[in-house]
Amino acid sequence: MKSLPIHLLLAWLTCMPAFAEKRERLADAIVAPDTEVKRLATGMKFTEGPVWIGAENKLIFSDIPNSMLMQWSEKEGLQPFRKVEQSNGNLLDAEGRLLSCQHAGRNIIRIDNDGSQMVLVDKYQGKKFNSPNDLAVHSDGSIWFTDPSYGLRGRAAETPGKWVYRFDPKTKQVEVVYKGFDMPNGIAFSPDENVLYIADSGKIGKIRAFKVSGKNIDPQPLFEIDLRCDGMCLDREGRLYTTAGGGIHVYDPSGKKITLIPVPEKPANVCFGGEQFDTLFITARKSLYSVKTLQQGAQ
């Protein structure tokens, strides 16, 4: 192995403090120093899928094994919201209606503001999905979602793969977007919707960023992040907040890591919420946490 020339070594050593200082500045722009990660509630079995309901100043999230959607608000604390079939990922559509991926139901449901519920989609080419996991809603109204096999629990799969889909509620058309994952999981659009982030929590264990081309994505990723991530969300500047061992790992829009926000329990999913949309709500195993940030979430 060749030695590094002395002038390059000196230049590298000179730059190291500058790199460290820049990274520290970037990290301080996400969460102020000494900001506390608060535990809001605990005692559940496995929490997932947080989504902020701004009109009611409350958070909805899943307790998967209990087949229960939970709700939390600063005023009323933790309460059951409604019984479901092992819901996982949740999100609002453009009209503020709650969309939920059901593991046991093997479908995506919509819960209207009057409390009524309907199955939006449960099959591809006449075959039941494995267990829809997480979803992202495009401004054109389409729903993009992941379908790993976590929720099958011994039941036979009907579809031949664990894929990523696009569903158009207007035409009822379901299309396969991507097949190149082992266990596709978290999914989210960049604020301008030009990039789609998809996480694999299986053997591949990476987040891939894809260029969005109309109703499809380019098959070759723009870049990969070597992280076995579950759920994710983005802020208005396109920074990516991901859940993995250790806490919330934050990346810039090019995939470079900015900082880690430690969480006491391993997180499964995360979203922005609060009156100013600058609070991260984190579902982590048996508990719900929050942390105040210096950024606002993408809506």
Helix (H, G, I), strand (E, B) or coil at 206: coil
Measured distance CA(296)–CA(83) in Å, rounded: 31
Measured distance CA(89)–CA(277) in Å, rounded: 19
Residues in binding site = 48, 133, 185, 230
Residues in binding site for substrate = 133
Write out the H or E segment, with its range, that includes residue 10: helix 6-28
Angle, alpha carbons 259-263-266 (nearest 5°) = 110
Measured distance CA(164)–CA(175) in Å, rounded: 9
Residues in binding site for a divalent metal cation = 48, 185, 230
Choose among 111, 154, 162, 158: nearest CA to 132.
162
Given 63, 134, 200, 230, which residue is catalytic? 230
Choose among 128, 129, 131: nearest CA to 151.
131
Q: Is 230 a catalytic residue?
A: yes
Q: Which two tokens stand for residue 75?
A: 């005023």
Choose among 225, 233, 235, 166: nearest CA to 201.
225
Measured distance CA(152)–CA(130) in Å, rounded: 6
Q: How far is CA 90 from CA 132, 136, 148, 185, 259, in A?
A: 11, 9, 16, 13, 26
Measured distance CA(117)–CA(98) in Å, rounded: 9
Catalytic residues: 230
